[in-house]
């Protein structure tokens, strides 16, 4: 897999200082609890006061790669403590970086949470967890996390996925592939634009998997105002139910995404921003340490107000009973 240069937006040291000062002030005002509702309510005003350098660095994705890395944020390895063994035991660990990610996400759009995932938090902890090694979720480690659109099963999925790295001692790579880089002929585009198969909820949404409703078929690839867009999660797509020609086209798309895929090994302080309408992401396999020094990412999901990249038919989907909650609604 290529390790082609990922677009990097270097944050100016003065802007970083202002960002961290703002995050610490918010955290201090709420006794260091990053999930306090009062803190969340103050995030929009705090984000509005950040310097133009931050706003420029957080501008929309502007290349066919469909992603970029914000670089220049410090991480105090001792201060963040040990990598949690499971998201549910993380508590307030790495709270400063929760707030930093919330501020950056608010500059980009509106953070969202899921009622059925990680207790409705707006910033998730992504860590390898014992007993989950072979799952197709962020808690896995020993298997390839297959390239996918984040929360592909749901019409309210994020436009942007934001991953902040706190620890990655083994340089475990996030994989990424953009639909704007692949080569598909017109026939494959036509086949894949037809709503033939559903995308089912993944293992992070146990309640959604038990939803009593007909799974809606959805298109895989379509044209948005600015170019091809995709909704893709082969691990949760019942491909054996599709006609042979559709399966073949889907296979060619998978092969193309694999061909153009790049590996991004984040270092502490890096923040990877992925356009979830253009890019499928995954993760290479690795051996979890379970000694408090494992890979540790913070994740937020962002909607971009006014963005018109989704088919109108999505508004009629039931979303398997799951509700996405916007931070400032």
Condensed to tens digits (0 to 9), the pLDDT of residues 217-236 reads 999 999 998 899 999 999 99
In this predicted structure, what is the pLDDT of residue 169?
97
CA distance 148 to 145: 9
In this predicted structure, what is the pLDDT of residue 5?
76
CA distance 198 to 324: 19
Are 93 and 180 spatial neighbours (Cβ–Cβ below 8 Å)?
Answer: no
In this predicted structure, what is the pLDDT of residue 309?
92
Q: Which domain holds residue 234?
A: 8-326
Average pLDDT over residues 116-139: 93
Instruction: Please report which confidence band the pLDDT of residue 2 belongs to, taking 50, 70 and 90 as the band edges.
Output: very low
Inside any domain, residue 2: no
Inside any domain, residue 283: yes
Inside any domain, residue 272: yes
CA distance 284 to 304: 29
Instruction: Please report which confidence band the pLDDT of residue 4 belongs to, taking 50, 70 and 90 as the band edges.
Output: low
Are 299 and 127 spatial neighbours (Cβ–Cβ below 8 Å)?
Answer: no
CA distance 54 to 13: 11
pLDDT, mean over the chain: 95
pTM over 0.85: yes
CA distance 189 to 197: 15
Inside any domain, residue 1: no
CA distance 167 to 293: 7
Other CB atoms within 10 A of residue 42 CB = 14
**Burial of 55 per CB tally in 10 Å (0-12, 13-18, 19+):** middle
Inside any domain, residue 37: yes
Inside any domain, residue 268: yes
CA distance 301 to 307: 15
Length of the chain: 329
Judge whether residue 284 has pLDDT over 80: yes
CA distance 173 to 175: 6
Q: Which CATH number belongs to the domain containing residue 208 in this structure?
A: 3.60.130.10
Number of domains the chain is built from = 1
Only one residue has tokens 């270097």, namely 10
Predicted confidence (pLDDT) per residue in 154-213, tens digit: 999 999 999 999 999 999 999 999 999 999 999 999 999 999 999 999 888 888 999 999
Inside any domain, residue 214: yes
Are 160 and 273 spatial neighbours (Cβ–Cβ below 8 Å)?
Answer: yes
Inside any domain, residue 18: yes
Predicted confidence (pLDDT) per residue in 286-302, tens digit: 999 999 999 999 999 99
Q: What does 165-187 look like in DSSP terms, one character per residue?
A: EEE-TT-PPEEEEEGGG----HH
């Amino acid at each position: 897999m290529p390790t082609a240069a990922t677009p990097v937006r270097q944050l100016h040291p003065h802007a970083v200082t202002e960002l961290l000062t703002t995050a610490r002030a918010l955290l201090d005002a709420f006794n260091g609890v990053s999930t306090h509702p009062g803190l969340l309510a103050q995030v929009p005003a705090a984000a509005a006061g950040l310097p133009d350098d931050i706003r420029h660095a957080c501008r929309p994705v502007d290349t066919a790669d469909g992603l970029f890395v914000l670089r220049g944020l410090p991480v105090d390895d001792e201060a963040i403590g040990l990598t949690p063994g499971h998201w549910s035991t993380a508590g307030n660990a790495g709270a400063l970086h929760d707030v930093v990610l919330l501020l950056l996400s608010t500059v980009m759009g509106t953070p969202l949470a899921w009622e059925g995932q990680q207790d409705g938090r707006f910033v998730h902890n992504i860590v390898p967890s014992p007993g989950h090694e072979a799952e197709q979720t962020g808690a896995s480690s020993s298997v390839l996390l297959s390239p996918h659109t984040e929360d592909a099963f749901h019409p309210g999925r994020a436009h942007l996925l934001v991953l902040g790295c706190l620890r990655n001692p083994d340089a475990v790579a996030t994989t990424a592939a953009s639909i704007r880089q692949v080569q598909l002929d017109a026939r494959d585009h036509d086949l894949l634009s037809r709503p033939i198969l559903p995308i089912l909820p993944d293992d992070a949404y146990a309640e959604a998997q038990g939803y009593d409703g007909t799974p809606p078929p959805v298109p895989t690839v379509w044209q948005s105002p600015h170019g091809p867009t995709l909704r893709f999660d082969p691990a949760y797509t019942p491909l054996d139910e599709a006609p042979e020609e559709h399966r073949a086209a889907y296979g060619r798309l998978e092969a193309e995404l694999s061909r153009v895929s790049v590996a991004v090994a984040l270092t502490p302080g890096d923040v990877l921003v992925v356009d979830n309408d253009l890019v499928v992401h995954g993760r290479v396999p690795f051996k979890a340490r379970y000694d408090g020094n494992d890979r540790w990412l913070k994740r937020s999901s962002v909607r971009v107000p006014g963005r018109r990249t989704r088919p109108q038919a999505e508004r009629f989907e039931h979303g398997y009973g799951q509700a996405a909650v916007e931070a400032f609604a």
